[in-house]
Structure 1
Amino acid sequence: MKLATLKSHGRDGQEGRDGKLVVVNRSLTHYVDVPTIALTLQAALDNWQLLAPSLEGVYSRLNGGEEKNCKVFQANECMAPLPRAYQWVDGSAYVHYLELLAKVRTGQVPADLWTDPHIYQGGSDKMIGAHSGIEVISEEAGVDFEAEIAVITDDVPMHVSSEQAPQHIRLISLVNDVTLRHLIPDEFAKGYGFLQSKPATAFSPVVITPDELGDAWRENKVHLPLISTLNGKLFGRPNSGMDMTFDFAELIVHTAKTRQLTAGTIIGSGTVSNQDSSVGSSCIAERRMLEIFARGEATTEFMKFGDHVRIEMLDSTGESVFGAIDQYVIEHAISEEEVRYTSAFE
């Protein structure tokens, strides 16, 4: 099943914060509104066992051409699947990438790198759609994309077992976990981790149930290449199922070790990375690290205003699975209110 959250407007004409849930057909060409089943994706997740069969029925009829009220699907009308999520945590399941980082930063690799997942808790009050701009104040922040995969869970009990954890994976999404690289050193120096260096995260137009992947979903991993292009040129296509040290079940177990997870929790894989560097990278930082190891210096620049990144996954027939994350870097427009606020303190 494929689901999306489309922009919606209230009676006052204002855009709703949480959008409206729709069912999208397999080829991503048409959709159906489902207000009688669930108004939002969060509402569907809150009552998944009860509502999922009805959503599946709509999906089946839509793919069979039996839904008369379907409309043309346009990805640029999508919000993030969960425009404001109860929880967003991001792991770094591809330890090869973490190992490169550790070698560049300190020259030493932590002993627990391969045995204990590294996960941070990100801001989830404002998630953005696949066609939203990467809005930043300055290019000097070191703007980078990070192509990832994420799962969305239902309610997960505290201290869930590795055998039970996969049963709580309800949906899968692509992610662009934007990072401002030049802000990271000062934040890490405080010993508290990411905050300002992690602006709004973007998600694919469509989320899918694991069964949509067929044989490509196994071992709690997605075994397909994740394709990233930067300004129209292929940047990387590492296989998401390869070199994933910690699968999604293990990430769930780690996250729920000391607390329950509520329905709508999003857990990211971290930057998809393969040890075979010939397949390219899923972020600029990794390419820069490889350049340092190969030639002694990094030559690839971080993103500038107007730069364009596209992140997509194709199935074995070449069809887009989630639709594409398609974003441009844009400069934050300072509002009159911000100008007045700043002037008051000058």
Structure 2
Amino acid sequence: MVDFPQSTRRNAIDTIAPESALRVRWRRSTELTAKILSNPATVLGFAIIVAMFFMAIFAPWITTANTPDPYQMPRDWGATRMPPGTPGYPLGTTNEGGDVYYGIVWGTRMSLQLSITVVGITLVVGSIIGSLAGFIGGKLDEVLMRIVDVFLSIPELIFALAIAAILGPSFGNIMFALAVVFWVKYARIMRARVIQIKNSDYIDAARIIGDSKLNIYFRDILPNSFTPVMVQATLDMGNVVLIAATLSFIGLGEAGIAEWGVLVSEGQAGIASGRWWASTFPGLMIFLWALAFNLVGDGLRDALDPRTESSR
């Protein structure tokens, strides 16, 4: 057996390891994608999300009305309560002459903006707080988790309703209220995941060989902690819109904006007299949005959680 010098062996490892690691990552990514796409429900959810993303992106080109504020639904007081199929109003109009089709299309963009903003902010804030609490521990962990417990003791809808009611009817206030409410679940999930990883064998090995705490935190713990919070974020993309629509429906949204909850609220008075379309179409969009992200979230959870496979 030929004994190569230490420098030669190290150069060979440095040359081969990145290629091997890249192949491993590519194989795992391919297997994960195939596993996700093998679930018909997940594929259906992805298809609905893609369709709604295209609707949100191309909203200016698939609607005809031009308004100074595209999120402000145009009114035609000479065409109130028009049924679906009316020329110029394919999905009918509301009691106030609002174009239901226009509201649905631009409402898709508002829902996308709402979901990305609220989930993005809460994911970042909650992950930072939860990971620091789990990694540092001690008094910091105790204080932060007691704050989280206080927030979690109040139902999400009631808490968001109280904040939005205090701030006043506004779409921006609804976004703020939801951001205040949703961050705590990410903090709790991230803390539990970080504690689990922090007590694993490979973290102990990293400490033994002399890795610094910052290096362990950023290189070994954080990259391996985001799976559960990403699944929760996918589910919350639907939950956020559902709760926002609820708040708008009860009068905490901005009147006249192209938002699904506002449309449902405006159209509810006409249901009893047979004018079902003003509430039904935006209500269907809310249902499809929440359903799609829940299907995708469940599919990601099943694909990423090894316990799911072992239980089958």
Q: TM-score, normalised by structure 1?
A: 0.25
TM-score, normalization by structure 2? 0.27
Which is strand-richer, 1 or 2?
1
Larger gyration radius, structure 1 or structure 2: 2
Q: Higher relative CO (CA 8 A, sep ≥ 6), structure 1 or 2?
A: 2
